Amino acid sequence: MRVLIVEPGKAPYEWEIGTSLADMQAVVGGTIQAVYPFEEPVALVCNDEGKLLGMTPNRALYMENIPYDVIDGTFLLCGAPADSERFTSLTKEQVLHFQERFRYSERFIRINGNIFCLREAMMDAE
């Protein structure tokens, strides 16, 4: 299955993984949780206990350009068609769209229950 892997402090990259639960758990480092924060039929699969385990904050989720949550630890994006109970490969267009969406690394500051994000430009590998 073609997925996009997003690690803290790194640019997202396309990768092929198997379709089993164990394959996804290996990527995120533990039990998985799938969330669906996008209009597109795409699942964000992360470690269900990322915050509890103190994993590194990775990227924010936004509603109307305001961050409402932070995904901690490595996560992956895969297809999640509404008419299927299985995850699927991302399309090439989805890969390109989400590579751009998560292109910048983020650092976070929480003050009085508010999340503030600082985006950092990623340097291309030479």
The mean pLDDT of 96-118, rounded to a whole number, is 87
Output the pTM of the full model: 0.88
Closest CA to 59 of 89, 95, 15, 103: 103
Does the pLDDT at position 120 exceed 90?
Answer: no
Residue 101 lies in a domain: yes
Residue 116 lies in a domain: yes
pLDDT in tens, 10-62: 999 999 999 999 999 999 999 999 999 999 999 999 999 999 999 999 999 98
Q: What is the domain range of residue 113?
A: 2-120
Instruction: Quote the number of domains for the chain.
Output: 1
Q: What percent of the chain is predicted at pLDDT more than 90?
A: 71
Strands (DSSP E) along the chain, which ranges? 2-6, 13-16, 32-35, 42-47, 57-63, 66-72, 75-79, 105-111, 114-120
Residue 125 lies in a domain: no
Does the pLDDT at position 100 exceed 70?
Answer: yes
Mean pLDDT of the chain: 91
Residue 113 lies in a domain: yes
Residue 73 lies in a domain: yes
Residue 126 lies in a domain: no
